[in-house]
Amino acid sequence: MSVSSAAPASVSASAPTQAELLDFVRRAVADADLIASLPLDPEGRTWVRLEGPGGSEAWLIGWPPGTGTGWHDHADSVGAFMTASGELRENSLAVRLPTDGWTTLELTEGVDRERRLATGQGRAFGRHHVHEVLNESTDRHAISVHAYYPPLPRIRRYSRTAQTLRLEQVERPEDWQ
């Protein structure tokens, strides 16, 4: 594992699969020195970019108590993440949403899924996976490792009220500089 703040590595001839991304985050989580190297902030999330496999984008992320991502997707990227310490909760939708051309959707009953990911637990996901990730602890940081391929072309952020999902913002890599 190497930490990088440079531009993403070039895309390989063979794109990493979801299983390969999950294997990468598993190996990163097992690297105690890497996990211990992440500076933690009591107020906000912290992150360090990692060199992922095959041109993927990877991150080591620290989650203070009570923080989360809000509802979002990773557009055309597949991904994987695993908890290195603490516990994260992932709320997700078990339905594929239309990718473009809408701003408000009414979700049907039964599409919500919840996973609790304790230390050493993770998952892979496909394109257009809508979810939110939360550290619900009131007193303990969580740390996780995430990998995406292709490198994130955009993130769509949503608000949710009951069964109504509303597209609020589309972010592109230049917005994160």
Is residue 152 in a domain?
yes
Q: pLDDT tens across 7-40, in order?
A: 344 444 589 999 999 999 999 999 999 999 999 9
Residue 116's pLDDT is what? Answer: 98
Is residue 2 in a domain?
no
Is residue 30 in a domain?
yes
More confident residue, 1 or 89: 89
How many helices, marked H, and strands, marked E, lie in the chain? 2, 12
Residue 79's pLDDT is what? Answer: 97
CATH number reported for the structural domain that contains residue 41 in this entry = 2.60.120.10
The phi, psi pair for 69, rounded to 5°, reads -95, -25
Q: pLDDT tens across 78-130, in order?
A: 999 999 999 999 999 998 888 778 899 999 999 999 999 999 999 999 998 99
Total domains in the fold of the chain: 1
> Which residue range is the domain that position 101 belongs to?
18-176
Angle at alpha carbon of residue 172, lines to 134 and 55, rounded to 5°: 85
Q: pLDDT tens across 134-176, in order?
A: 999 999 999 999 999 999 889 999 999 999 999 999 999 888 7
